[in-house]
């Protein structure tokens, strides 16, 4: 059986995953599961999804042989360029798929949660593309921190709802989005932004991101005539990593997920049930979910998708962490060696490659998913470097 195949009938990946939702949500997640299974087996749905990714989102994204970076690192490095996809990251793959599902479900509105605002912007984009309404829940603190993304969402026609409960950040926005969804199930689809939440979401989002890994695998085989020995991606909730790993899970490549030191849910987390799933979460001694800390707002989810917890448990993938200083250095290295400014999230994967370069043997190749572009992070990078903007 394929390692990254179908979860079991309870939506479990080993001991992780599952479906822990309030009773009123149960019919909606079951309907979603059934509709996704039908849609994913329907050649017309797949053709439409692929057509939109090609004509609108700019797929396939290139696989780029980073020759100057390779020289610096002393190993053969290839970049899967999700930074070149529409809206600047892999997130478009998921929201296009879920907007198509919403349409198939007869829903007229998308609900989403967002932390840094990137998933909110992607959801607002897909909503505009499909003529759907859009409501995005965002912690009050994030609304203040991410004013530009709030404006982008509004420009795209979405309503941004500030969440004032709890720590007023991403985990509270997820809770509020789920609460609101219960009150508008008839009209609204909840568009989750990563491989998290109750079954079937982790499975659906991974399947919509699988295109990243499948393209990369075929492109690498074409260009290099082999499979890469190492496949590396950053992990927030884990969608770009899951999509990437799905293309290589059945190969012999070593799969490495890179978490931020202050948000290492697999490295430092504890098993728990949060946001509808069993997975690994940063928790305090009383089991309260803790705030993740990272220079990249897109990686500060305090948990991780259940399939990553499973891949770690069975030893198919390894999860390691890097610190903010290494990440900033990796941004600089890629910018100067290749003329590419990566997103701070993606720079985690690069920072790991740079730090661990002694582990790569002669003749081995490393494929890194560059999940997004760094334009959105210019101000953060400038501030962290003590420069003004
Ligand atoms: C949102 C985001 C991430 C983190 O999300 P995953 O679900 O872990 O992929 C990583 N990189 C970029 C550029 C993002 O926008």
Q: 113 catalytic, yes or no?
A: yes
Q: How confident is the model at residue 1 (pLDDT cuts 50, 70, 90)?
A: low
Q: Which of 91, 107, 171, 376 is catalytic?
A: 91
Number of domains within the chain: 2
d(CA 192, CA 203): 11
Q: Would you state the pLDDT for residue 298?
A: 77
Element (H, E) at 51: helix 43-55
Say which DSSP state 189 is in.
E
- Tell me, yes or no, whether 217 and 164 share the same domain: no
- Tell me, yes or no, whether 252 and 174 share the same domain: no
Token readout for 191 is 């568009």
What 3-state class would DSSP assign to 260?
strand
Confirm or reject: Cβ of 338 under 6 Å from ligand 1: no
Ligand 1 geometric centre to CA of 208 (Å): 14
- Tell me, yes or no, whether 216 and 360 share the same domain: yes
- Tell me, yes or no, whether 83 and 95 share the same domain: no
Least confident window among 81-85, 171-175, 229-233, 297-301: 297-301
Q: Nearest-CA neighbor of 118 among 81, 85, 167? A: 85
Q: On the CB side of 260, how many CA atoms lie within 13 Å of its CA?
A: 26
Q: What is the pLDDT of residues 68-115, one digit of tens each?
A: 999 999 999 999 999 999 999 999 999 999 999 999 999 999 999 998
Indicate whether 10 pLDDT > 90.
yes
Give the residue, 289 or 213, on which the prediction is more confident.
Answer: 213
d(CA 193, CA 157): 19
Token readout for 55 is 């004509």
Token readout for 312 is 């770690």
Paired sense of beta strands 254-260 and 317-322, if any: parallel
Ligand 1 geometric centre to CA of 236 (Å): 6
* Residue 166 Rama label (left phi>0; alpha psi -120 to 50; beta): left
- R_g of the chain, CA atoms, integer Å: 19
Average pLDDT score over residue span 39-62: 98
Ligand 1 geometric centre to CA of 232 (Å): 13
CATH code at position 161:
3.40.50.1100
Place of tokens 């499973």: 310
Point out the domain boundary residue: 156, 181, 201: 201
Q: Would you state the pLDDT for residue 312?
A: 98
Confirm or reject: Cβ of 345 under 6 Å from ligand 1: yes
Ligand 1 geometric centre to CA of 10 (Å): 27
Confirm or reject: Cβ of 194 under 6 Å from ligand 1: yes
Indicate whether 388 pLDDT > 70.
no
Q: Would you state the pLDDT for residue 389?
A: 60
Q: Would you state the pLDDT for residue 204?
A: 98
With respect to residue 4, please indicate whether it lies within any of the assigned structural domains: no
Q: 259 catalytic, yes or no?
A: no
Q: Would you state the pLDDT for residue 251?
A: 96
Burial category of 329 from C-beta neighbours within 10 Å (exposed 0-12, middle 13-18, buried 19 and up): middle
Q: Would you state the pLDDT for residue 340?
A: 98
CA–CA distances in Å: residue 39 to residues 32, 33, 211, 233: 10, 10, 16, 28
Strand order in the sheet with 159-163: 159-163, 133-139, 109-114, 188-190
Average pLDDT score over residue span 39-59: 98
Indicate whether 212 pLDDT > 80.
yes
Place of tokens 């290494």: 326
Confirm or reject: Cβ of 263 under 6 Å from ligand 1: no
Q: In a mutational test of the pocket of ligand 1, which residue from 232, 372, 373, 376 has the highest number of ligand atoms less than 8 Å from its CB?
A: 372
Q: How confident is the model at residue 44 (pLDDT cuts 50, 70, 90)?
A: very high
With respect to residue 139, please indicate whether it lies within any of the assigned structural domains: yes
Domain that holds residue 173: 12-52+91-201
Q: In a mutational test of the pocket of ligand 1, which residue from 87, 95, 138, 234 has the highest number of ligand atoms less than 8 Å from its CB?
A: 234
Helical residues (DSSP H) of 269-364, grouped into ranges? 306-313, 324-338, 344-355
Confirm or reject: Cβ of 94 under 6 Å from ligand 1: no
Q: Would you state the pLDDT for residue 247?
A: 98
Ligand 1 geometric centre to CA of 16 (Å): 21
Point out the domain boundary residue: 169, 201, 233: 201
Token readout for 250 is 């059945």
Q: Nearest-CA neighbor of 272 among 15, 10, 2, 4? A: 15
- Tell me, yes or no, whether 219 and 326 share the same domain: yes
Identify whether the C-beta of residue 108 lies closer than 8 Å to the C-beta of residue 133: yes
- Tell me, yes or no, whether 84 and 100 share the same domain: no
- Tell me, yes or no, whether 167 and 196 share the same domain: yes
Q: How many CB atoms lie within 10 A of CB 240?
A: 33
Indicate whether 67 pLDDT > 90.
yes
Place of tokens 């929201």: 95
Interior angle at CA 203, CA 223 and CA 62, nearest 5: 20
- Tell me, yes or no, whether 193 and 137 share the same domain: yes
Q: 91 catalytic, yes or no?
A: yes
Average pLDDT score over residue span 286-305: 86
d(CA 302, CA 282): 5
Identify whether the C-beta of residue 163 lies closer than 8 Å to the C-beta of residue 138: yes
Q: On the CB side of 123, how many CA atoms lie within 13 Å of its CA?
A: 31
With respect to residue 1, please indicate whether it lies within any of the assigned structural domains: no
């Amino acid at each position: 059986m394929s390692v990254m195949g179908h979860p079991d009938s309870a939506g479990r990946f080993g001991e992780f995953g599952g479906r822990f939702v309030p009773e009123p949500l149960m019919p909606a997640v079951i309907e979603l599961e059934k509709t996704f299974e039908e849609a994913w087996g329907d050649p017309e749905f797949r053709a439409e999804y692929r057509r939109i990714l090609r004509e609108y989102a700019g797929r396939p994204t290139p696989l780029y042989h980073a020759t100057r970076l390779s020289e610096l690192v002393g190993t053969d490095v290839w970049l899967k360029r999700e930074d070149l996809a529409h809206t600047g990251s892999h997130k478009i793959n998921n929201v296009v798929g879920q907007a198509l599902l919403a349409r198939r479900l007869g829903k007229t509105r998308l609900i989403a949660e967002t932390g840094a605002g990137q998933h909110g912007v992607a959801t607002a984009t897909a909503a505009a593309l499909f003529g759907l309404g859009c409501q995005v829940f965002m912690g009050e603190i994030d609304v203040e921190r991410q004013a530009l993304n709030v404006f982008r969402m509004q420009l795209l026609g979405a309503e941004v709802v500030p969440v004032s409960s709890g720590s007023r950040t991403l985990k509270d926005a997820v809770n509020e989005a789920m609460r609101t969804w219960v009150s508008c199930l008839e009209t609204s689809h909840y568009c989750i932004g990563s491989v998290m939440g109750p079954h079937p979401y982790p499975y659906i989002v991974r399947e919509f991101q699988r295109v990243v890994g499948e393209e990369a695998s075929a492109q690498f085989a074409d260009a290099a005539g082999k499979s890469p020995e190492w496949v590396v991606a950053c992990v927030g909730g884990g969608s770009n990593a899951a999509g990437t790993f799905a293309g290589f899970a059945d190969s012999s490549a070593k799969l490495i997920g890179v978490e931020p030191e202050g948000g290492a849910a697999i490295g430092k987390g504890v098993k728990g049930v949060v946001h509808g799933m069993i997975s690994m979460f940063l928790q305090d001694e009383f089991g309260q979910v803790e705030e993740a800390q990272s220079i990249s707002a897109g990686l500060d989810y305090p948990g991780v998708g259940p399939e990553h917890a499973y891949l770690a448990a069975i030893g198919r993938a390894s999860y390691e962490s890097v610190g903010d200083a290494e990440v900033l250095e990796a941004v600089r290295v890629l910018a100067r060696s290749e003329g590419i400014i990566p997103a701070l999230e993606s720079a985690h994967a690069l920072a790991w490659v740079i730090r661990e370069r002694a582990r790569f043997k002669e003749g081995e190749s490393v494929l890194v998913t560059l999940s997004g572009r760094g334009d959105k992070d210019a101000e953060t990078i400038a501030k962290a470097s003590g420069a003004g903007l």
